[in-house]
A and B are shown apart, each in its own frame.
Chain A
Amino acid sequence: MYSNKKWTLILFFLASFFVTIKLAAQDAKDTISDNVKVKGKYSFVVYAGGGLFQYMSSVGSSGTGINTSIVRLHPTGTFRVMWFPDHRLRVGIETGYNDFYSYKLKSGNTTGKVLLTGIPLLVVWSMAITKRINVYAGIGSYLLTTHLNYNGKVESKTSGLGLNGSVNYVQPISSKFGISAELKWTEVTQTRDYGLSAQLMLAWKFLEW
């Protein structure tokens, strides 16, 4: 079942990727005359920032009592490096940190704490839809970690296929820096963990040629 969904998602992103490439190529062709090839500017831009993540999936084990104490709002952070070529489609990599959800559970005299965190490692494509508004789509893997503290501490890890999609607005503050406000959907498909985050990021064009 998960395998089918995984392949559907991969197909979805591959299809998006190729359609975008084709459109970007078309756009480039439209702006270049048949005889003159003009190379535009290339650059690398790094985005770093953070905000709040709202966990939106269901959690709960019947009979354990964990349903009543779930904390769904947690801080989140993003670090992304994008390559801006001289056409619309950009590509990059993204990582960061997500606290998905946490809860406390009292059993007898002992209180247990559980926190599920994730570190994404995604390939991200983006495209400007207006001068300052961009859309992003990423796919890759999330390294998930359970932090359990109940009669001993446990850190248990697994990885799962995941994706994200976001839209941001970038306000330039100099020729190399900008401030970005971003709304992002994050989903780890394998473990059905998903939610929405709002983040403020600093954008820095650190290399241009």
Chain B
Amino acid sequence: MKLFIIIPLILLLAVGCKKDYTAPVPNYDNWQEFTSAGPLLFSAASRRNMEGIYNLTDGVDVFGPNTAVKWSYVTAGTDTTYHLSLFFGKDIAYIICEGKKLNGDLLLNGYWRKMADTETGIARLTVSAAQVALLTGNNPVIDSGAITINGFIGKDDGIPARKFSCTYNRKLYNKTPFKIIAHRSGGRTSDLLPVSENSVAMILKTSEFGSMGIEVDVRLTRDGTPILYHDNTVNLRETQKSGLIGPIENYTYNQLSTFVRLIHGEKIPTLREALDAVVYQTALSFVWLDTKVTDASLVTVRSIQKEYLQKAAAAGRNVTIVIGIPDDKAKKEFLSLPDYANAPNLCELGLEDVETTKAEIWAPRFTLGTQNDDVAKIHAEGKQVFVWTLDVPEFIEQYIRDGHFDAILSNYPSSVAYYYYVQQ
């Protein structure tokens, strides 16, 4: 009889003691010098001049020997916020800082995170006024060792006390046109990011992770509104508990917008809201519409694609928006579009399907290998090849080194950014 009580109790303890993993962005708002600093007012040329591969002199044990340093920005109305990102090879780590200027010094305030685990902390970095002066001009010669990013990093919300420094070594690699595409509009909620997957907030954040484009999941609500949502049901993986369950297509957009919030509190965005953010607030240049729509309502998605390609052109933005074709059912619906031949699309199927759909992009899954012969065939037709979804750093490095792809889709764009930019 005792056994009957003890064994279930042990098993219940095992169930009850599940660790809850979190990696909240530390509160880095209490650096007084940064608060009193003025806006960055850094020209595009100065930002570009600062970008490069830097060798670490302090913090090697935490981040590895070198880092790819890259600026990004988002706009909101007339305000533009600039972020400097440092991508590392070790543990898919990055530092993301907002930039401001104080007495000529460049102040960088932000946080670091390792995507391989939940380690995070505050980062406070500076570049001296004398070195900032070297960055002006269109193409100044910046010698190796000329620029040093100095500062301190902390652990979680603790005041940064551990020294960090890195020194400019060379320019970022950019010899082949290449795109870093982020999965689910920037990254997965399950990777403990501070914003939810497939949200406008994620679209505005993803450039900080090194993304140049995004893949978004498109579904239709009951009233035919295209929205960004991955799973086929309203569930706790993607949304907060609201009492609404079951297929997302059961609800109108108005109902979802009123009752449902994504994990970090954002509304489920419409496709229009998402594309508005891409075109008018970011520098992202590519959108892959992974449509879960396999019926005649693909017409709605096509019409929005057409509308936003025109809007982007009118805004002077070079943005490519493609409809993804993941399977035969989607292919059939795509081919039933009256103007399918003019609809930019990305085909995940075989080479012959790329011909049939008149796709400009072939997107094979990474498990099929680098397929350099087939990639060469597609390139010979003037088309591009994107590979998906590469998340393991060793594979990312290998596919960049040995493959000839034009883009990599990943949940860890910062890792792709590191391995792409550090090439010699």
Q: What is the 8 Å Cβ interface bit string for chain B, positions 39-64, against chain A (1 contact, 0 not)?
A: 00000000000000000000000000
Q: How many residues of B contact A (CB 8 A)?
A: 35
Q: How far is the CA of A5 from the CA of B14 in the complex (A)?
A: 10
The count of chain A contact residues (Cβ–Cβ below 8 Å) is 41
Closest Cβ–Cβ distance, residue A142 to chain B (whole Å): 11
Query: Does the CB pair A151–B4 fall under 8 Å?
Result: no
Say what secondary structure dominates the interface of chain A: mixed
By Cβ-Cβ distance, the 6 closest A-B pairs, closest first, are: A156-B246, A61-B261, A62-B265, A114-B243, A156-B250, A12-B11
Interface contact B8-A64, CB-CB below 8 Å: no
CB within 8 Å for A23 and B1 given contacts A9-B15, A58-B241, A151-B252? yes
Asked if B239 is at the interface (CB within 8 A of a chain A CB), the reply is yes
Binds B, one of A39-47, A101-109, A199-207: A101-109
Complex formed: what's the CA distance from A60 to B7 in Å?
35
Q: Who on chain A is nearest to B267 by CB?
A: A63
Check A8/B242 contact, CB under 8 A, given A20-B4, A64-B258, A156-B251: no
Would you call B31 an interface residue if the criterion is a C-beta within 8 Å of the partner chain's C-beta atoms?
A: no
Q: Indicate if B75 sits at the interface (CB-CB under 8 A).
A: no
A-B CB contact pairs (8 Å), 19 listed: A5-B18, A8-B11, A15-B7, A16-B4, A19-B3, A23-B4, A57-B241, A61-B239, A102-B243, A105-B259, A107-B258, A112-B258, A114-B259, A146-B244, A150-B258, A150-B259, A156-B234, A156-B244, A157-B245
Chain B residues, Cβ within 8 Å of A103: 243
A5 near B244: Cβ-Cβ < 8 Å: no
Q: Map CB proximity to A onto B218-256 as digits: 1 under 8 Å, 0 otherwise.
A: 000010000000000111100111111111001110110
Proximity bits, A1-33, B CB within 8 Å = 1, else 0: 000010011011001100110010000000000
Contact of A61 among B4, B15, B240 (CB under 8 A): B240
Task: Evaluate whether A62 and B259 lie within 8 angstroms (CB atoms) in the complex, with A12-B8, A16-B8 already known.
Answer: no
Please name all residues of chain A whose beta carbon is closer than 8 Å to the beta carbon of B259 when the two chains form the complex.
61, 64, 66, 105, 112, 114, 148, 150
| Cβ-defined contact, B15 with A5, below 8 A | yes
Give the residue name and chain of the B residue nearest to A129 (CB).
Answer: B1
CA distance A144 to B267 in the complex (A): 24
Q: Does any Cβ of A come within 8 Å of B407's Cβ?
A: no
Give the distance to chain A from B408, nearest Cβ to Cβ, in Å: 26
Would you call A16 and B7 a contact (CB within 8 A)? yes
Q: Which of A95-150 contact B (CB under 8 A)?
A: 101-103, 105, 107, 112, 114-116, 144-146, 148, 150
- With A and B bound together, what is the CA distance between A114 and B255 in angstroms? 11
Query: Quick one: which of A61, A66, A158 contacts B245, CB cutoff 8 A?
Result: A158
Q: Is there contact, CB below 8 Å, between B265 and A192?
A: no
- Among the listed A15, A64, A145, which residue makes an inter-chain contact with B242, where contact means beta carbons less than 8 Å apart? A64
Report B-chain residues with C-beta under 8 Å of the C-beta of A148.
Answer: 243-244, 251, 255, 259
Of B4, B233, B243, B258, which is within 8 A of A158 by CB?
Answer: B233
In the complex, what's the smallest C-beta–C-beta distance from B355 to chain A, in angstroms?
40
Knowing that A16-B7, A152-B252 touch, tell me 9 more A-B residue pairs with CB under 8 angstroms: A8-B11, A12-B8, A12-B11, A61-B240, A114-B244, A114-B259, A115-B243, A154-B255, A191-B245
